[in-house]
């Protein structure tokens, strides 16, 4: 249904914080990059990894569903911009370009066939925040108890955990992180990040 | 913080988990076959063992999986599944015994870089120095910079590198305040965190109470006053920032004295992540005070700075040691900058450090002795005086007597003498002390039995110390013994040393009494920790360095990193003779011998405590308050134990110490709160429509963490008027509300219907696709847990809604049953609470508003009946419209993407304007639903209420073989006729308002207590539709009392009320279809 709406009237959860993120990024002189990556497609996929559906979905996406806990796989080229995050032993989050949820969902459902599984569009459930730059890890360390050192949490890692007082999905990226934040908590997390960034600005 | 091992995600902080109680309690195969007693046993009875306990946990902030674990309830250790890191037991330094008290080698007579003999003080006119007790040279202060400060209203000068205490001493000020109970003058007693006396209050630049002057770094513009033992909280808000950081390391080394530096040097450059934390601005620890190895700390500091994986935290006190090697430290980042502290840097920072291995090199505190009038300003710990001379370039007095039971005070005497202080005598309780100081008389076998003076010590009385036994606690020579009096303004005291075992003890480590040392030293600990150096009872510098280096190497090797070779500086061994173990020295009967200076606790106080029969130091501590002040008895704890042992005639090793608890030093609440203040104190969850609500003057109500519009007052309206207006619009025209906060769960799979039949009390599998059903879920005890609606999207797919505050709990509940009891069910649940925004459109004109915006939707009642849903577009926006009513009026709930919510809301606002569309908030929603008798779970129910109690027997299926809670509805307790029922209440005076929570009684006159209570008001409102006030209440046997008159005590009045049906408005339901 997302495609039918008039795009100009859409509002992402942190559209109103874009200026503050941009100002912080500017003031940090390259130490930090903060931005919302709005409207990204997110599909929650739950199925039995031991059944045939898991491999079929991997083939359909061109990315195998990661089976190791707290890891993510990613394909980013001219055609695809796709990541699959491990959320649980039978649960993944497929993250793609904005506006691709219907296409992705139908491909995944076709691959699953008659196997019992659940595919749910959760694109608006969480918004995506980019936290990057040389001080990104220091910034998150103010509120995240996980060890985010590159040795322990580099690209290819993801984790559901808490940042300050909000639940988040942290995804390790080259040069930084994605934070997937529940939309209702997005204002809080934005305020918290900007406050924690004060020292680096 | 405890780490809990998630079998999927590995060890995570305990805060990410939800406890699920005892494991391996299977749901009975056929609950209906159980007797009430058997069912009650399953429901309510759980094991409660001390020791290993199998229990269930859910990783609720992570992968949301339930798992079983075995935890030892007495230690909190998880036995299975195991955490990644397990703690070795009882590991001790190899040098533990053999390395201490070395007696070989010549005694050094000069120290490298030691001070030379000089005039004790510099003259005022020399180089413009205004500090009469400041040495002309020496110390680690920056003499070229001057800092102006004020103490007790007098202006002074000091230098960078000073503490407030050293600067005061340099200016000849030793008396800082008076004591808390007795008002006796007190002075600077130590040079560190152990300070019991010199407690001050900073007044400028920002008020801060109860700080030891010995720990306050001097800065320009500091204004402080001495405190009579008690501070004053600031009345103005603290303008500073505070924050916290999580840190992880392979090795945490606490303390940067010789042992800690040796450990850090050994661990650096190994590739291991190392954190070295020390509470001083400069690395070196005791070396800064003794003057030994003067250049080595800086060399190690340079090495550490050059090592990429080493983090050095200066001005950082590790104050708490918790489970799984989690340690908390506070870093004082800008305090020492005074008014020049930058605004964007936190003043203090809490470090939350998770370390694979910990090396504690926390040093030792010198102990005092209990003798007569041992509290006068001028009485000072010997090593602290040495610190003032060597580190701060200050002489704390001009004429000193030294009183000791061990060798360490001789070094202090030497350094003071070298600095020009006239050391007139060393009084040693030992008959044959091994050490001596050239030119100073040693009075062996003597003790100080009294002091004289007022604001400053003037003289010291010394007498032979008689018949010293092995425990060193025998009496003195008596009144006829020859006494000597020495004129002195300084009395240095050393009663021995207490290893700083606080953190080790907090970690769960056990202490043992060391006979040779006469103090308590670390023994064994289940956590991965090692103690090195003086903290481990080792006092010879060479041995301290070797033990520190060995501990550092062992720590990095245990963490899997290769040890590099590190070179230790050469140190000459010192001769040592054994200390005497003395705690109490008898003196004049009328004089006070203080044990705890900060609490004014004397030997006489402890004697009274022992006299009452107390035999434990935990008891005498609480009886006398010894050790309870904000110094937590750092200098007095072992002295108090020794005194009580002396009084009871038992060995001190039998008594032990009192318990060490965090924090090691006081930490302010502001620091602990960090940035969790103001708007960041608790997350406010906002809906996509929040900006519109704010722009239109909504007042908000907190529902869980959500901010929901409560009501929208027009200018000049109070809440009552606004709510009556909003209610009228919903009943007579059209109104709309943001209902986005309701929890929503997408339930998919072939067994979705079977699953919901088991979770809800009513039947969900028979619901037709395209339709909606109200449902109630109960806990196993039959009490209502939550309610909501289920809409059936397809044969294998439902979306169910939950109450706003219960969304997460309901999802966890569903996962618990699916994962632990019904893994065979092919169904999965996914939260979609924020995937949808929901707008309730309510009122007789709502059909016209919706119809105008949804041309593709046939809104007529026949084609779109009550409790049906349709996918359509509303105002060009894809929407799922549900015909649900929580008000009894014709109503719709329009679900759209939150990205489009504002567009839809504004379209509704515009299309509804001709009909007077009115936004309404939660208060109006509550009134409307209450007029219809619809309960709110959590307001009209409280966990002791069944669906039948609420008059909703119809929602409890009689056809289903079983569902969660079913067996409980045939328990004798749930069948009682006098259970509380939900009923309506109409005050006889239609304007009388009953506050929620008001009790109800039977009679118009209150009988003598206890007054029999019939129930209480759960909801109470003014109704526009009824033209009166009304309430809902839970009342014993309420449904059988309809029509009865009861009384509600409000203030001192008894308001007569009539019990009514809970459905007070449109009981026949005529308005639902418009």
Q: The complex's ipTM? A: 0.96
CB interface of B with A, residues 960-989, below 8 Å? none
Residues near B187 by beta carbon (within 8 Å), at least 6 away in sequence: B174, B175, B176, B197, B198, B376, B377, B378, B379, B380, B456
Is the separation of the CB atoms in B949 and B1038 below 8 Å? no
Is the separation of the CB atoms in B756 and B742 below 8 Å? no
CB < 8 Å to B873, chain A: 4
Is the fold of B240-367+499-572 the same as that of B368-495? yes
CB < 8 Å to A16, chain B: 691
- For residue B206, what pLDDT is reported? 84
- Residue in chain A nearest B244 by alpha carbon: A142
Q: Give the pLDDT band of residue B236 (cuts 50, 70, 90).
A: confident
Angle in degrees, 0-180, between the axes of helices B617-624 and B603-611, rounded to the nearest 10: 120
Whether B344 has its CB under 8 Å from any CB of chain A: the answer is yes
Which of A119, A121, A160 minimises the CB distance to B835? A121
| Contact yes or no for B899 and A145 at CB 8 A | no
Q: Give the pLDDT band of residue B140 (cuts 50, 70, 90).
A: very high
CA-wise closest residue to B393 among B280, B283, B289: B289
Q: Give the pLDDT band of residue B129 (cuts 50, 70, 90).
A: low
B433-445 core/surface letters (b: 16 or more CB in 10 A; e: else): bebbbeebebbeb
Q: Is the pLDDT reported for residue B776 higher than 50?
A: yes
Q: Is the pLDDT reported for residue B416 higher than 90?
A: yes
Which of B244, B690, B749 minimises the CB distance to A118? B749
- For residue B468, what pLDDT is reported? 43
Average pLDDT over residues B702-706: 96
- For residue B473, what pLDDT is reported? 43
Map out the domains of chain B as residue ranges.
Answer: 3-80, 130-238, 240-367+499-572, 368-495, 591-681, 682-741+835-932, 743-831, 969-1074
Whether B835 has its CB under 8 Å from any CB of chain A: the answer is yes
Which of B13, B247, B344 minimises the CB distance to A141? B247
**Residues B980-1020: pLDDT tens digits?**
999 999 999 999 999 999 999 999 999 999 999 999 999 99
- For residue B130, what pLDDT is reported? 79
CB < 8 Å to A184, chain B: 685-687, 706, 741, 833-834
Is the separation of the CB atoms in B378 and B405 below 8 Å? no
CB interface of B with A, residues 1045-1064, below 8 Å? none
> CA B757, B762, B768, B772 torsion: positive or negative?
negative
Q: Which residue has the higher pLDDT, B675 or B233?
A: B675
Is the separation of the CB atoms in B883 and B772 below 8 Å? yes
How far is B395 from chain A, CA to nearest CA, in Å?
A: 41
CATH code that applies to domain B743-831: 3.30.70.1400
| Contact yes or no for B899 and A5 at CB 8 A | yes
CA-wise closest residue to A38 among B745, B694, B898, B742: B898
A77 class by beta-carbon count within 10 Å (0-12 exposed, 13-18 middle, 19+ buried) = exposed
- For residue B472, what pLDDT is reported? 41
Please state which of the four CATH numbers 3.30.1360.120, 3.20.20.70, 3.40.50.720, 1.10.357.10 is assigned to the domain occupying A12-37+126-200. Answer: 3.30.1360.120
- For residue B93, what pLDDT is reported? 30
Q: Distance of CA B875 to CAs A2, B839, B851, Å?
A: 14, 13, 10
CA B841 to chain CA mean position, Å: 45
Q: Is the pLDDT reported for residue B114 higher than 50?
A: no
| Contact yes or no for A13 and B688 at CB 8 A | yes
Cα–Cα distance measured from residue B811 to residue B743, given in angstroms and rounded to the nearest whole number = 9
Q: Is the pLDDT reported for residue B625 higher than 70?
A: yes
Average pLDDT over residues B871-887: 97
**Residues A56-82: pLDDT tens digits?**
999 999 999 999 999 999 998 877 899
B199-204: strand order across its sheet = B154-158, B147-151, B222-226, B199-204, B208-212
Average pLDDT over residues B836-840: 98
**Residues A4-55: pLDDT tens digits?**
444 468 999 999 999 999 999 999 999 999 999 999 999 999 999 999 999 9
Instruction: Name the CATH superfamily housing domain B240-367+499-572.
Output: FAD/NAD(P)-binding domain (3.50.50.60)
Q: Give the pLDDT band of residue B95 (cuts 50, 70, 90).
A: very low
- For residue B91, what pLDDT is reported? 31
B587-601, B757-771, B902-916: range with lowest mean pLDDT: B587-601
CB < 8 Å to B746, chain A: 118, 120
Say if domain B682-741+835-932 classifies as CATH 3.40.225.10. no
- For residue B112, what pLDDT is reported? 40
Which of B10, B62, B687 minimises the CB distance to A184? B687
Please state which of the four CATH numbers 2.60.40.10, 3.40.710.10, 2.40.30.110, 3.40.980.20 is assigned to the domain occupying B969-1074. Answer: 2.40.30.110
Residue carrying structure tokens 């008596």: B478
CA A86 to chain CA mean position, Å: 11
| Contact yes or no for B16 and A162 at CB 8 A | yes
CB < 8 Å to A196, chain B: 243, 675
Average pLDDT over residues B319-348: 95
| Contact yes or no for A184 and B876 at CB 8 A | no
Cα–Cα distance measured from residue B1021 to residue B873, given in angstroms and rounded to the nearest whole number = 37
Helices (H), B444-540: 502-506
| Contact yes or no for A124 and B685 at CB 8 A | no
- For residue B204, what pLDDT is reported? 85
Map out the domains of chain A as residue ranges.
Answer: 12-37+126-200, 41-121
DSSP class of residue B713 equals: P
**Residues B290-320: pLDDT tens digits?**
999 999 999 999 999 999 999 999 999 999 9
Cα–Cα distance measured from residue B936 to residue B319, given in angstroms and rounded to the nearest whole number = 47
Tokens of B838: 């929901």
Please state which of the four CATH numbers 3.20.20.70, 3.10.20.440, 3.30.465.10, 3.30.360.10 is assigned to the domain occupying B130-238. Answer: 3.10.20.440
- For residue B729, what pLDDT is reported? 98
What average pLDDT does the structure give for chain B?
92
**Residues A141-173: pLDDT tens digits?**
999 999 999 999 999 999 999 999 999 999 999
CB < 8 Å to B685, chain A: 182, 184-185, 188
User: How big is the A-B interface in CB pairs under 8 Å?
Assistant: 184
3-state secondary structure B877-900: EEEEEECCCCCCCCEEEEEECHHH
CATH code that applies to domain B368-495: 3.50.50.60
Please state which of the four CATH numbers 3.30.750.210, 2.60.410.10, 3.30.420.40, 3.30.2270.10 is assigned to the domain occupying B3-80. Answer: 3.30.2270.10
B66-72: strand order across its sheet = B18-22, B52-58, B66-72, B78-80
CB < 8 Å to A186, chain B: 686
| Contact yes or no for A124 and B691 at CB 8 A | no
- For residue B435, what pLDDT is reported? 84
| Contact yes or no for A159 and B750 at CB 8 A | no
Q: Is the pLDDT reported for residue B847 higher than 80?
A: yes
- Selected for mutation to probe chain A from B11, B246, B328, B747 (highest A CB count within 10 Å) is B246
Q: Which residue has the higher pLDDT, A92 or B231?
A: A92
The CATH fold of domain A41-121: Alpha-Beta Plaits (3.30.70)
Q: What phi and psi, each to the nearest 5 degrees, are found at residue B1026?
A: -90, -15
Average pLDDT over residues B970-983: 95
- Residue in chain A nearest B880 by alpha carbon: A1
Residues near B269 by beta carbon (within 8 Å), at least 6 away in sequence: B303, B307, B564
Whether B323 has its CB under 8 Å from any CB of chain A: the answer is no
Tokens of A173: 């990226």
| Contact yes or no for A142 and B244 at CB 8 A | yes
Share of chain B above pLDDT 70, in %: 94
> CA B879, B883, B889, B895 torsion: positive or negative?
negative
Which of A124, A144, A188 minimises the CB distance to B835? A124
Q: Distance of CA B462 to CAs B247, B371, B378, Å?
A: 53, 11, 16
- Residue in chain A nearest B707 by alpha carbon: A184
């Amino acid at each position: 249904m997302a495609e039918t709406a008039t795009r100009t009237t859409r509002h992402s959860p942190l559209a109103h914080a874009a200026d503050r993120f941009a100002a912080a990024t500017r003031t940090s002189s390259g130490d930090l990059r903060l931005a919302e990556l709005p409207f990204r497609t997110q599909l929650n996929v739950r199925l039995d990894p031991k059944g045939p559906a898991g491999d079929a979905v991997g083939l359909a996406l061109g990315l195998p569903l990661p089976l190791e806990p707290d890891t993510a796989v990613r394909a980013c080229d001219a055609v695809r911009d796709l990541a699959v995050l491990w959320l649980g032993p039978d649960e993944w989050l497929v993250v793609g370009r904005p506006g691709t949820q219907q296409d992705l969902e139908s491909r995944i459902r076709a691959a699953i066939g008659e196997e019992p599984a659940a595919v749910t569009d959760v694109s608006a459930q969480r918004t995506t925040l980019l936290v990057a730059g040389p001080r990104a890890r220091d910034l998150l360390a103010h509120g995240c108890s996980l060890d985010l050192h590159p040795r322990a949490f580099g690209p290819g890692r993801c984790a559901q955990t808490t940042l300050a007082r909000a639940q988040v999905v942290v995804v390790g990226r080259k040069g930084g992180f994605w934070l997937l934040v529940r939309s209702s908590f997005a204002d809080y997390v934005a305020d918290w990040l900007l406050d924690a960034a004060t020292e680096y600005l | 913080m405890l780490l809990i091992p998630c079998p999927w995600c590995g060890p995570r902080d305990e805060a990410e988990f939800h406890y699920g109680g005892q494991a391996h309690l299977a749901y009975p195969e056929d609950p209906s076959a159980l007797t009430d007693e058997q069912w009650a046993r399953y429901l309510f009875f759980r094991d409660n063992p001390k020791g290993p306990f199998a229990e269930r946990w859910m990783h609720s902030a992570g992968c949301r999986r339930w798992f079983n674990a075995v935890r030892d309830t007495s230690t909190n250790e998880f036995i299975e599944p195991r955490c990644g890191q397990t703690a070795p037991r009882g590991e001790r330094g190899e040098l533990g015994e053999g390395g201490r008290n070395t007696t070989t080698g010549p005694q050094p007579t000069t120290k490298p870089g030691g001070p030379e003999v000089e005039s004790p003080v510099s003259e005022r006119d020399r180089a413009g120095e205004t500090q009469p007790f400041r040495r002309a040279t020496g110390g680690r202060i920056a003499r070229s910079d001057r800092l102006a400060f004020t103490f007790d209203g007098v202006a002074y000068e000091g230098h960078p590198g000073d503490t407030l205490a050293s600067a005061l001493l340099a200016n000849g000020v030793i008396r800082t305040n008076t004591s808390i109970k007795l008002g006796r003058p007190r002075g600077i007693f130590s040079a560190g965190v152990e300070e019991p006396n010199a407690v001050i209050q900073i007044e400028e630049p920002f008020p801060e109470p109860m700080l030891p002057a010995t720990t306050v770094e001097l800065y320009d513009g500091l204004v402080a006053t001495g405190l009579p033992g008690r501070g004053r909280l600031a009345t103005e808000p603290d303008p500073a920032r505070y924050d916290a950081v999580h840190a992880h390391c392979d090795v945490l080394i606490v303390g940067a004295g010789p042992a800690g530096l040796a450990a850090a040097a050994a661990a650096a450059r190994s590739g291991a992540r190392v954190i070295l934390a020390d509470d001083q601005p400069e690395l070196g620890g005791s070396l800064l005070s003794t003057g030994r190895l003067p250049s080595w700390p800086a060399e190690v500091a340079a090495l550490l700075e050059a090592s990429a994986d080493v983090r050095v935290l200066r001005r950082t006190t590790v104050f708490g040691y918790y489970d799984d090697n989690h340690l908390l430290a506070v870093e004082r980042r800008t305090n020492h900058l005074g008014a020049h502290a930058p605004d964007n840097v936190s003043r203090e920072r809490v470090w939350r450090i998770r370390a694979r291995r910990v090396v504690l090199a926390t040093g030792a505190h010198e102990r005092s002795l209990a003798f007569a009038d041992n509290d006068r300003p001028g009485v000072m710990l010997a090593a602290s005086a040495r610190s003032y001379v060597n580190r701060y370039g200050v002489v704390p007095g001009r004429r000193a007597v030294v009183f000791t039971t061990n060798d360490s005070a001789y070094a202090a005497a030497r350094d003071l003498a070298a600095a020009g202080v006239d050391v007139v005598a060393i009084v040693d309780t030992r008959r044959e002390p091994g050490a001596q100081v050239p030119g100073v008389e040693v009075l062996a076998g003597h003790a100080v039995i009294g002091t004289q003076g007022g604001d400053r010590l003037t003289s010291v009385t010394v007498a032979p110390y008689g018949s010293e036994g092995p425990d060193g606690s025998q009496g003195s020579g008596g009144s006829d013994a020859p006494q000597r009096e020495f004129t002195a303004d300084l009395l240095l005291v050393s009663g021995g040393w207490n290893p700083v075992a606080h953190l080790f003890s907090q970690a769960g480590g056990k202490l043992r009494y060391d006979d040779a040392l006469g103090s308590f030293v670390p023994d064994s600990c289940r956590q991965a920790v090692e103690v090195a150096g003086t903290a481990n009872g080792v006092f010879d510098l060479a041995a301290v360095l070797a033990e520190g280096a060995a501990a550092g190497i062992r720590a990095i090797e245990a963490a899997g990193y290769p040890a590099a070779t590190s070179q230790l500086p050469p140190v000459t061994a010192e001769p040592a003779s054994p200390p005497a173990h003395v705690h109490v020295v008898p003196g004049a009967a009328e004089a006070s011998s203080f044990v705890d200076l900060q609490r004014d606790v004397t030997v006489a106080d402890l004697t009274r405590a022992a006299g009452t029969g107390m035999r434990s130091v935990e008891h005498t501590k609480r009886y006398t308050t010894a050790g309870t002040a904000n110094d937590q008895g750092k200098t007095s704890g072992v002295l108090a134990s020794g005194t009580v042992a002396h009084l009871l005639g038992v060995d001190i090793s039998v008594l032990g110490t009192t318990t060490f608890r965090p924090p090691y030093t006081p930490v302010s609440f502001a620091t602990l709160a960090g940035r969790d203040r103001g708007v960041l104190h608790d997350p406010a969850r906002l809906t996509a429509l929040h900006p519109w609500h704010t722009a239109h003057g909504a007042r908000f109500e907190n529902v869980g963490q959500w901010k929901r519009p409560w009501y929208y007052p027009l200018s000049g309206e109070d809440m009552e008027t606004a709510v009556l207006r909003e209610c009228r619009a919903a009943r007579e025209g059209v109104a709309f509300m943001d209902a986005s906060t309701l929890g929503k769960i997408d339930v998919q799979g072939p067994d979705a219907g079977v699953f919901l039949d088991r979770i809800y009390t009513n039947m969900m599998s028979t619901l037709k696709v395209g339709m909606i059903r109200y449902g109630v879920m109960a806990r196993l005890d039959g009490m209502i847990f939550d309610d909501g609606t289920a809409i059936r999207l397809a044969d294998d797919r439902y979306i169910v809604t939950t109450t706003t505050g219960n969304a997460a709990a309901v999802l966890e509940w569903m996962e618990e049953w699916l994962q632990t009891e019904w893994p065979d069910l092919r169904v999965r649940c996914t939260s979609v609470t924020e995937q949808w925004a929901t707008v309730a459109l309510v009122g007789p004109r709502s059909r016209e508003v919706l119809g105008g915006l949804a041309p593709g939707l046939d809104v007529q009642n026949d084609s779109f009946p009550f409790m049906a849903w349709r996918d359509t577009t509303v105002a060009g926006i894809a929407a799922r419209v549900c015909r649900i009513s929580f008000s009894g009026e014709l109503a719709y709930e329009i679900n759209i993407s939150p990205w489009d919510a504002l567009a839809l809301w504004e379209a509704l606002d515009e299309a509804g304007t001709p009909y007077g569309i009115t936004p309404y908030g939660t208060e109006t929603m509550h009134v409307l639903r209450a007029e219809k008798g619809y309960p709110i779970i959590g307001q009209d129910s409280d966990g002791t209420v069944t669906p039948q109690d609420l008059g909703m027997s119809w929602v409890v299926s009689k056809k289903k073989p079983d569902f969660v809670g079913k067996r409980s509805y045939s328990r004798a307790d749930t069948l009682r006729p006098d259970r509380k029922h939900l009923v309506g209440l109409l005050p006889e005076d239609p304007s009388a308002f009953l506050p929620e929570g008001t009790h109800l009684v039977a009679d118009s006159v209150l009988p003598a207590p206890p007054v029999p209570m019939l129930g209480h008001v759960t909801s109470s409102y003014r109704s526009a539709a009824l033209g009166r006030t009304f309430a809902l209440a839970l009342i014993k046997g309420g449904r059988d009392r309809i029509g009865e008159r009861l009384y509600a005590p409000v203030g001192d009045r008894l308001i007569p009320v009539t019990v009514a049906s809970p459905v007070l408005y449109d009981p026949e339901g005529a308005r639902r279809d418009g």
